Structure 1
Amino acid sequence: MLALMALGVPIAIAMMAAGLAGLIVVGTLGSALTQLTLVVWSEGSNFILLALPFYILMGNLILQTGIARRLFHGASVWLNWLPGGLAIASVFACAGFGAVSGSSTATARTMGSIIVPELRRYRYNMSLGTGVLSASGTLGILIPPSIIMIFYGLMTETSIGALFIAGIVPGIIVSVIFATIILIIALIRPEAVGTRRQRGEISWRHRVAALGDVVPVVSIFALILGSLYFGIVTPTESAAVGVLAVLVYGAAIGKLSFKAIRLALVDSILTTVMLFMIIIGGYLFTRFLAQTGMTAGIHAAFAAADLGYVGFIVVVTVLYLILGCVLDLFGMMILTVPILFPMALQLGIDPVWFGIYIIIVAEIALVTPPLGVNVFVINSVARDVPLGKIFLGCVPFVIGLLLFVVVLATWPQVALFPLAGLR
């Protein structure tokens, strides 16, 4: 599998080929093809996974309506007086877009194309600027609704609604951590944040008017989370509600032409197919691992090590950092969650908390070399910035995420307290 990836074969095809070949070796060609058929059918017809294309479509429609650009404008109007205010605004704009797109790469790609020119305009150090955008893009999978939360909930039979609600506070805290890191860098190295507007250049009237740029995102976010929280809709239905809300808003402001809708649909289809291929390939590979006895062997090794809560968290964190070097987010979760989740339950770890923890650790993998998916996405919109400089710009934010993992592991209620009234 790793050899195929090194040759440039897409991750989905590499996992599928290795899994299918392995099933043939440990079984027969007929049994391997039967497993392939069963995986394709079971995952392709899974009702819960309908939420994936709907959330992807919602993010693409939002891109076509111009909400993302307006969101960044509103954030920059309010935060530009701070040292590094433009970069801080990009963090909260990414958080806002992530709240209605559910995708890390979509957040990085969309906001990167909007914000990179502004960072150049104000002469920001582009290592810092691209690092901020790469790291802030990861907020798309932490702040609900999140595609990866849906996938984790499906794999572990954990309440997706509970995962969504549990992700809100950690998402806000991580956003504040990123903003604080930028502020510290700006105070220590003012030259890194270039020029900036002064506080008096923007009137309060302009700032109040700019709140209108944020209202659409807040309204859609409140509609999705509110309908879920009060049990009005299921997670899959909430995705459809979100798409409908964006369509109505786009039609109301005259920003959604048939051409724009077609472009959004085409991009959503391509992304959905890619995700389903990764899911199918990953499940085939894990079925092969299970038949070899490797899964049971790992369980036995962990049990014999008697790691305890702290040891387990440290091992899983290191494991994800290593896997992030060669696998994307879905690949990592498919290969690890079926093994790690039962161990977490044996240690008395809350399944909702474990999902939030896994997602935050996976965020780190999205901005670490050599794969660093978000870094490559930002590099595609800032081609003159070498990958090494972008990875270097991510370092302070990786440290911030690791510190938050420590906080979350020490005080699990940081994520769980909003669920108190639902349990």
Structure 2
Amino acid sequence: MSDPVTGLILLGVLLVFLASGLWIALALTGVAAVALSFFSNAPVGLVLATTFWGHSHSWSLAALPLFILMGEILLRSRLSSDMFSGLAPWLGGVPGRLLHVNVLGCAIFAAVSGSSAATAATIGKMSIPELKSRGYPESLILGTLAGSATLGLLIPPSIILIVYGVATEQSIARLFIAGLIPGVLVMTLFAGYVMVRAMMTPGLIPPFDITMTLREKLRAARGLIPVALLIVGVIGAIYTGIASPTDAAALGVLLSIILAATSGSFSMRDFMDALLAAARTSCMIAFILIGAAYLAVAMGFTGIPRNLAAWIGEMGLSPYVLLAALTGFFIVLGLFLDGISVVVLTTSIIMPMVTAVGIDPIWFGIYLVLVVEMSQITPPVGFNLFVIQGLTGIDILRIARAAFPFFLLLVLAVVLITAFPGLVTWLPQAMS
């Protein structure tokens, strides 16, 4: 049987499993078992046992639950609301005014949580009631929040970059460094869009009616200091080479506990809730990763990725044509799956094609995260849309329409890093 036919059969099996409501991890494991049973001579049980054991004690994977726990602790402390209060006084004179709190607040919280959903929930709880009470347009409130929360996937420490690094055996530290400039680029695009909208429609943004002296602004900005210390402690330890991502994640958990406890708004009950939430999320992601690893090994035994890469190479496709096709593919896939599932489902099949045309795996990781960010704000399975719907009760399609301009800005960001790959690769190369 030819490789394309085999690939289509396995894809059909996967779709049937997913459509039946089977857990993603079990669906991946089931497809791998089918591939080994019918399209190879490898022993199914032995490969499953060795793969599950070999991929369940990865040191790199240990950073994942730690960063998730750090975000859960911050989500339950007063630090997030202090961050909002510290940013607001400085943005009153900027076109778009307090809407930039959504953009900057999401960027800052993304740098300490690594989660898009946690970023949307935390910043949304504070900003939506405040901005609505001040008369800001609903579409821009929802759009800036939904769009900017996607920065949780890109700005390090990013959970999805850890997942990509583990799945593709790339350096997580280099991926974190590579995501810094694109993260600032996306944040700048979002802030620029808000400023342009505000300047084009002068009456759209209500006036900022609170006047504060410089001393009062500085006093309010003290709420940013704990979060700034956390960012410097975690990201600085990684960038300077003092600590590995896993060590830095442990440091981040320790610092977040200390800062949350000293804020006076974090109880032992909050800590236990954070532990349970982090354990649930971490187990889900780890289970998916192990299932994806089993599928990757099974695909190796069938020879499909190797032959597919050779076929792509013989076609002589340029990297740009391949990336254009993959972008459309990932956007469609993101309509039905969350970002982490997209990464683990596709890397074992896509990476041989990517390396065959000479695309840098580190660059491709950032590209993939940007494309996955788009799926966070596209229905029917846009996690940020679900979070905001839960906060506001607003129809998800209305939220999706508000987020659509930011979807287009993410497309622009993909175009920019494709045209200027140095935006991604320069910093890791300079610091290596």
Partner amino acid for 1:337?
A: T
Tell whether the 8 Å contact from 2:313 to 2:357 is kept in structure 1 after alignment: no
- The answer as to 2:25 corresponding to 1:12 is yes
Structure 2 CA distance for aligned equivalents of residues 285 and 370 of structure 1: 26
- The answer as to 2:235 corresponding to 1:222 is no
Structure 2 CA distance for aligned equivalents of residues 288 and 339 of structure 1: 11
Tell whether the 8 Å contact from 1:11 to 1:327 is kept in structure 2 after alignment: no
- Cα separation, partners in 2 of 1:121 and 1:7, compared to 1, 3 Å: farther
Tell whether the 8 Å contact from 2:313 to 2:356 is kept in structure 1 after alignment: no
- The answer as to 2:149 corresponding to 1:134 is no
Instruction: Compare 369-378 and 235-244 and name the one that shifted more.
Output: 369-378
- The answer as to 2:360 corresponding to 1:324 is no
Query: Partner of 1:362 in structure 2?
Result: 372
Give the gaps of 5 or more residues in structure 2.
1-13
Residue deviations 1:244-287 (CA, integer Å, cap 9, x gap): 11122223333332111111111111111111222233334444
Residue in structure 1 matching 2:285, options 275, 279, 294: 275
Tell whether the 8 Å contact from 1:153 to 1:160 is kept in structure 2 after alignment: yes
Structure 2 CA distance for aligned equivalents of residues 372 and 225 of structure 1: 28
Tell whether the 8 Å contact from 2:310 to 2:356 is kept in structure 1 after alignment: no
Structure 2 CA distance for aligned equivalents of residues 38 and 282 of structure 1: 14
TM alignment of 1:208-219, pairs within 5 A: 208-219=218-229
- The answer as to 2:163 corresponding to 1:151 is yes
Query: Partner of 1:84 in structure 2?
Result: 96
Structure 1 CA distance for aligned equivalents of residues 34 and 135 of structure 2: 52
Instruction: Compare 52-61 and 404-413 and name the one that shifted more.
Output: 404-413
Tell whether the 8 Å contact from 2:75 to 2:118 is kept in structure 1 after alignment: no
TM alignment of 1:21-420, pairs within 5 A: 21-26=34-39, 31-189=43-201, 193=205, 195-198=206-209, 201-383=211-393, 385-420=394-429
Structure 2 CA distance for aligned equivalents of residues 202 and 8 of structure 1: 55
Partner amino acid for 2:404?
A: V
Tell whether the 8 Å contact from 1:80 to 1:89 is kept in structure 2 after alignment: no
Instruction: Compare 40-49 and 5-14 and name the one that shifted more.
Output: 5-14
Structure 1 CA distance for aligned equivalents of residues 365 and 405 of structure 2: 24
Tell whether the 8 Å contact from 2:52 to 2:294 is kept in structure 1 after alignment: no
- Cα separation, partners in 2 of 1:118 and 1:25, compared to 1, 3 Å: farther
Residue deviations 1:175-230 (CA, integer Å, cap 9, x gap): 1111111222233345654x3424x6233222212221212222111111221222
Displacement of 1:386 = 0.8
Partner amino acid for 1:392?
A: R
Tell whether the 8 Å contact from 1:161 to 1:229 is kept in structure 2 after alignment: yes
Q: Alignment partner of 1:44: what SS?
A: coil
Could you list the runs of 4 or more consecutive aligned residues of structure 1 that deviate by over 6 angstroms after TM superposition? none
- Cα separation, partners in 2 of 1:266 and 1:35, compared to 1, 3 Å: same
- Cα separation, partners in 2 of 1:60 and 1:415, compared to 1, 3 Å: same
Displacement of 1:59 = 0.5
Give the gaps of 5 or more residues in structure 1.
none
Q: How many residues align?
A: 419
- Cα separation, partners in 2 of 1:315 and 1:262, compared to 1, 3 Å: same
Structure 2 CA distance for aligned equivalents of residues 139 and 232 of structure 1: 25
Structure 2 CA distance for aligned equivalents of residues 38 and 129 of structure 1: 49
Q: Alignment partner of 1:348: what SS?
A: coil
Once the two structures are aligned, what percentage of the paired residues are identical?
A: 34
Q: Alignment partner of 2:28: what SS?
A: helix
Structure 2 CA distance for aligned equivalents of residues 213 and 136 of structure 1: 21
Structure 1 CA distance for aligned equivalents of residues 27 and 63 of structure 2: 26
Displacement of 1:138 = 1.0
Q: Normalising by structure 2, report the TM-score.
A: 0.89
Q: Alignment partner of 1:267: what SS?
A: helix
